[in-house]
Structure 1
């Protein structure tokens, strides 16, 4: 079930909301938590009910390991660290089997000339996100920062439907106190107004902006030759498609959660305004950046073992972050590029050098655009077609053959570009709204316009890009 679908907007969400607060109205708080957990499992099963046993198996396993860690049940015989390592290893094996088995088989066949058959496994939806969420829970429990003895609460923590498919990646310690709060049980009209506005903005971002840019980006990445204009239109279109698609999902997730008085962590902070690669990763997919920093980079030693080790840890972290996004060498290379960018950025700063903010923003944006080409391309050959076109000074116009027929040539396209500029450079982000938002007729009109525009665009329903990762 997609957030940008009629069944979700007009049936699932209203019914889930109404029953949750009705149960709380009659002080059936445990039942309301159970209802949200059941509704979230139903939401996940809507895609493919065959994935539900995998999800439940993962939940039962991690809840059991987390309980052992919290109670120290095996501490006297094994110690908690082996239990933690075992739990993480099983999670990574689970993720690796479904996400990377065919990738590994393909590479083994290429290296050794073997003819091992591919498994052709269907990737369970959201597996990368709910696996990382539970790994973070195990580590936090091992550190004594979290514990959970209520199985239903744990199910809700993992499956809470706004974040389930594409994040944000949650921490147990920041979510469960909210679910247990008395305030979460009462209807809060300010949160409802704020949540509906965020949902409307996210819907508009996805349906009107991102899906329009997709019509320009997709033909370009299928082309065998691109002119300068076509290549830059292709690369920039995907750059904005990805941002508005993923940030649109995040806004919708944050908005839906607010309807239930739950604040999910922010995942974007105007990343294309970044003045350096370091700054970019503080603004882009912030919960993934937090996870990679806290549970991988620091675990590798961070910056505690000298400069050389620090740069190596940065590279390992980003390469593995690239691989997390998908089982392809193009994702690995995208991670390598960002690892190299972070290394150069840190080295530059260690010399005491600074760059003017405007020049820094331009250089950072161009670097990100080029790196996104590898992120989007299905092969290095496809990426090279776009990159060669981006420096194709011999042919700068549009080809009459119309390889990219949907390039911005009319007033409607210019309107989308203007709206894009508004969102990227002017519009407030949710971080600012959390503190300053006040319900008003102005915001009601804005939300109404975005909702209406989004609903009229549902005739071209498409999945969110990060569902693939």
Structure 2
């Protein structure tokens, strides 16, 4: 089961909301939280027995380590060791289950990894990171975490059930269990520990439904159709014959650029919307990233929760260690920047690429983005540019940045989509091809497909994202604060009124019209 399955949308979700409200009325916050935990475990079980067993074992071990870290940190003992054990355990489970292709040659580990990958067909990536970050939260903010886990709602007696129940609510919450957004323990615990938790509010339902419908529209009406009409047939032809026409190759590259965004941001909108229905605000994951004016701006807007987690776990420690190394040996210039900035950035983005799965194309994707990030960082910090930029109007700088960034992003997105480097090279070579359409190939250039592609670029390039529209109602937690890129005449603001209800109803009808076949989210496959 997934958030896009009809059984989830029209059965699981309504029943859950009714039971959640009933649990809150009968048992208060604890009753509502118990319903959330039970529903999340049921949702987990729908992914398969292997996934349920693995995530349950992970839950038990992570909770035991979390409480050990809190006790050790408060008492001043062994906290760092427990943190290391927890992170190593989580990453080892993820690597064994996800990277069996690269581990099969290793005696003992290879068969174990292959067995886990067969038993756990669904990715563990997002929940692994979320539970690892929870351990780090417990280590760095142990007092606040302990209070969030153990303090009773106002006016109620303490209960031994509160810590495990609240942790289960955080670590297994079904909206963001599979594909994020990755939340921090310190972001969610205060929300599920408050006295009002368990009471459904009309405004939360309205905001949540808005996010859910917008996500459905992105996924069903835009992303899935773009993949079916423009992207998948071309990649299939190239994988089979090694070539396609230049027009079809260009169409596939352009379509995948918006397809990946609408697919992944559609899931994030739906996850944040479902959580908001029960009064929980998850962190925002996308902020109009396809309008980025450079790679730095892009990663402040794209998959923001992963960006901040990788930076916290990997880049910051590496950069600090590199800076100390450079200071110790009194390195200057390039010799100092290499260990303190350049190598940490390259490693950071290589890991981001590898995180998606055991493909060489993902590794190259990460290396390209890491190198690009280093180049742009150096360009922005150059003295001559700091002087020059003051003489250039801001709109010209942004336009020039977008003209450079967007084609590079389109090409690297195509690399991300390619199963092998050979397929990616064939796609690029096809851009200059004079070949005719392969026999039996489906042409994507029907009127509706073209309209949908143009509409997708118009929405991505001009329309406000749903978090801008809902801004005054704080629909999600902002990971980064970015300036708005929406033209003033398109800066629509959502209101809980009949006009917006009618518009959302129309979007819901368009989405449901496309629900005949349900395709998995792109990131759910990796």
Compute the TM-score of the two structures, normalised by the length of structure 2: 0.82
From 156, 159, 176, the counterpart of 2:189: 176
- Contact persistence 1:220–1:403 (CA under 8 A): no
Structure 1 residue 50, shift from structure 2 partner: 2.7
8 Å CA contact retained: 2:214, 2:466: no
For structure 1, the residue ranges without an aligned partner over 5 or more in a row are 110-114
What CA distance in whole angstroms lies between the structure 1 residues aligned with 2:127 and 2:113? 25
How far the C-alpha of 1:466 sits from its partner, in A, is 0.8
Superposed counterparts of 1:257-276, under 5 Å: 257-276=275-294
Q: Who is 2:173 aligned against?
A: 160
**Whole-angstrom CA distance in 2 between matches of 1:457 and 1:183:** 38
User: What's 1:308 paired with?
Assistant: 338
Q: Distance in 2 between matches of 1:289 and 1:210?
A: 23
| Structure 2 SS opposite 1:234 | helix
- After superposing the two structures, state which structure 1 stretch, 7-16 or 145-154, moved more: 145-154
Structure number with greater CO (CA < 8 Å, separation at least 6) is: 1
- Provide the residue aligned with 1:49 in structure 2: 49
1:231 equivalent to 2:258? Answer: no
Identify if the C-alpha distance between structure 1 residues 99 and 74 changes in structure 2 by more than 3 Å, giving closer, same or farther: farther
CA deviation profile, 1:408-451 (whole Å, cap 9, x unmatched): x2221132123213320222223321315420112101111111
Structure 1 residues 418 and 381 mapped into 2: Cα distance closer, same or farther (>3 Å)? Answer: closer
Q: Please tell me whether residue 421 in structure 1 is matched to residue 439 in structure 2.
A: no
**Could you tell me which of 121, 135, 138 is aligned with 2:135?**
138
Shift of 1:90: 1.1
Moved more, 437-446 or 335-344: 437-446
Matches within 5 A, 1:1-20: 1-20=1-20
CA distance in 2: counterparts of 1:459 and 1:313, whole angstroms: 46
Moved more, 8-17 or 374-383: 374-383
1:60 paired to 2:60: yes
Moved over 6 A (4+): 73-76, 115-118
Is 2:79 the partner of 1:80? yes
Distance 1:118 1:172 in 2: 29
* Separation in structure 2 between the aligned mates of residue 272 and residue 213 of structure 1, nearest angstrom: 16
Q: CA deviation at 1:402?
A: 5.3
Q: Is the 8 A contact 1:197 1:443 kept in 2?
A: no
SS in structure 2 of the partner of residue 32 of structure 1? helix
Contact 1:257 / 1:263 at 8 angstroms: preserved in 2?
Answer: yes
Would you say the 8 A contact 2:213–2:504 is kept in 1? yes
**C-alpha separation between the residues in 1 aligned to 2:497 and 2:351?**
45
Task: Measure how far apart 1:336 and its partner are.
Answer: 0.5
Q: Is the 8 A contact 2:32 2:197 kept in 1?
A: no
Q: Give the Cα–Cα distance (whole angstroms) in 2 for the partners of residues 322 and 361 of structure 1.
A: 23
Cα shift readout 1:320-345 (whole Å, capped 9, x = no counterpart): 11101111111111111110110111
Which deviations, in whole Å up to 9, do the C-alpha atoms of 1:182-227 show, x marking residues without a partner? 3333221112111111111110110111011111211222211123
Match of residue 430 from structure 1: 466
1:208 aligns with one of 221, 236, 253 = 221
In the other structure, the counterpart of 1:332 is: 363
String of CA shifts for 1:262-302, please: whole Å, max 9, x gaps: 11110000001000100000000010011011111112125
Relative to structure 1, the CA distance from residue 139 to residue 26 in structure 2 (aligned partners, 3 Å threshold; closer, same or farther) is same
User: Is 1:288 aligned to residue 345 of structure 2?
Assistant: no
The separation in 1 between residues aligned to 2:13 and 2:443, in whole angstroms, is 35
Look up the SS of the partner of 2:197 in the other structure: helix
Instruction: Name the structure 2 match of 1:127.
Output: 124
Question: How many residue pairs align between the two structures?
Answer: 457
What is the distance in 2 between the residues matched to 1:129 and 1:463? 16
Structure 1 position 220 matched with structure 2 position 219: no
8 Å CA contact retained: 2:4, 2:518: yes
